Amino acid sequence: MVSSRLMRAGGWNGEGGAYGDARRRRWGNARSARPCSAGVFSRQLFHTGRTGVAGPPGCGPLRRATDGRPYRTTRHRLQEEKPMSAVPKSAVAGAQAPIDFRQHIENLRARDLLWDIDAPIAIETEAHPLVRLQFRGLPEEQRRGFLIKNPHSVDGRRFEGDLAIGCLAASRQIFETGLGLREGENLLERVAHALRNPLPPQVLEQGPCQEEVHTGDSLTEHGGLGEFPIPVSTPGYDNGPYTTFSHWITKDPETGIYNIGNYRGQVKAPDRIGCFTFPPQHLGLHWVKCKRLGIPLEAALVIGVPPYVSYAANAKIPYEADELQVAGALSGKPLPVVRAKTVDLLVPAYAEIVIEGKISTTELEPEAPFGETHGFMSQPVNAYFMEVTAITHRKRPTWCSILSQFPPSESTRLRSISFEASFYKHLKYDCNLAGVLDVHFPQQTSAYYTCFIKIRRNTKADPWQALHAAAAYDPFVKVFVVTDEDVDIHNPEMMLWAVATRAMPHRDMRIIDGRMSAMDFSAIQAEEAEGFKYMEPNGSSAILINACRPWAYPPVALPRKDFMENAIARWQELGLPPLELKTPWHGYDLGFWSEQCEREAQMAVEGRHYEIGETARQRRVKATDENTGGVS
């Protein structure tokens, strides 16, 4: 039996395994880490990595290990194992989605995933830099949410409520806590189920989000938007505070179908805020329809919603899907909503803050610069803006902000999981690609520009079908790679290995055009990169890479599984440091391995290598140009 810390096999980005060293810290009073808790993995699960898949098809039948005991190679096990996220290690048994953001904060605190900051923190110059440090200096499993309890402005203003940063997706464990993911639950399948089985919201007469209401002459009596501790995200470069954890609720003026989208908003006045998005984002499509109808677009910007609403807002959801209903389905019960005060919209009843208004469809305003998720400062653009008509909020509301900008960030962690789930559902269920096992958007590429797909091939066409179907789902992703089930697509080293050893450029790589560019400085110079663009005549492009093995390969060149298991036992006996094993950590067959190679490998571990040498002597051949590659 092996300790859980030793056997965090296949962990990626520092994740995987049972983390017992989580601890709560207060600013300036951090306790030292406790040792990891001892857990056990059965020998049956010993070989699995994060994906639960250790090897590919084509592995041999039952064999005998050197000690005489039987073991099976991976072919036997693959039929039983689940795709990525089938057993999320950080999920909590019996967990439920929190009813509101406040319960989520308590859940984070109870799980040692929150730092309470009591010291005064300036929202313009200190808040985001403080939280940013953990993304530049701590592994993901050590990151926490920050609850700043004494935020203040550089102009001396104080605020009644707290400022929460990093509390939505600073780590995968925080994300899963917010979703209420249960132990053993498949995250991708949960999202896919919610998309296929939406729940209509529950309309309440009143809700906590309207404990205080400011409209008309009283709209700015407490400062309007200045009532809240809205931080500057990139001090020294941003041109003001922006809403980042801001979910814009709009509805199609013709069908009434709701959209919830997460878009930044520049605070421009106590009663005016920007909204940065364009078609094909769904709010942009609503805006276009309203412009054609000659009416403004009614909107409600909600802050501090139950986390599952945030996850719905960031997912790639089909246009015809109602995201209020999808959000409810993610939590397993209808989303409680109330009617907004000044616009014809339903809003989450348990939101901390709701900002209502009308987005002009006749004028645009300059916005930015702002540090964007691609890792560069976005340049000034003409964008939407909203005239605020009402501000409602809970008593002593918590303002919520997320970190975007240079990856990895909170937004890349949030987007990677949300996009993975959306693309997984699209490929597996909408496109009937039953062999799709996993999808990954690496944070290093802003969780936006690169998509990795893992499949179990049922037909020879599956890899290209998956690539083209994924490319059709979003016009902005630039790199798509599909590979086999033995590859941990969450490990960039494995993906480089797969592309380098399984893909031949002239045969397995194709470039497609006719795509759009989203603030992509590789597509268009910074001074012209305004919003989302289609560059004439052929648009932007993407590369499709088929990194599936084209035929049978020799075994992976690592010691056989039984020898590695024995080595781990000896490692422990010797008292060597705990291991965090990556997939693969043992060799496995890939379909091309002769009986002679098998026999000689067995002889080698039995100390019979001189017999092999004698056989080689008897098989000598004359050296020629043909068998040496030389020229006489």
Instruction: Give 360-413 pLDDT, tens digit per residue.
Output: 999 999 998 888 878 888 888 899 999 999 999 999 999 999 999 899 999 999
What is the model's pLDDT at position 320?
87
Q: Which residue has the higher pLDDT, 276 or 533?
A: 276
**Which position has the token pair 């814009």?**
248
Instruction: Give 591-609 pLDDT, tens digit per residue.
Output: 999 999 999 999 999 999 9
Half-sphere exposure at residue 353, Cβ-oriented, CA atoms within 13 angstroms: 25
The three state secondary structure string of 87-110 is CCCCCCCCCCCCCCHHHHHHHHHH
E-strand spans in 456-519? 479-483, 509-515, 517-518
What is the mean pLDDT of the segment spanning 199-210? 97
User: Among candidates 557, 499, 436, 496, which has minimal Cα distance to 53?
Assistant: 436
Other C-beta atoms lying within 10 Å of the C-beta of residue 45 = 16
What is the model's pLDDT at position 95?
57
Structural domains of the chain ordered from first start:
128-401 (2.30.110.10), 431-547 (3.40.1670.10)
**Average pLDDT, rounded, for the chain:** 84
Confidence label for 530 from pLDDT (cuts 50, 70 and 90):
low
Half-sphere exposure at residue 490, Cβ-oriented, CA atoms within 13 angstroms: 25
Distance CA 167, CA 115 (A): 10
Q: What percent of the chain has pLDDT over 70?
A: 83
Q: What SS3 class is residue 612?
A: helix
Peptide bond into 584 cis (omega under 30): yes
Tokens at 49, concatenated: 């990595």
What is the mean pLDDT of the segment spanning 206-219? 97
What is the model's pLDDT at position 13?
32
* pLDDT at position 41 over 60: no
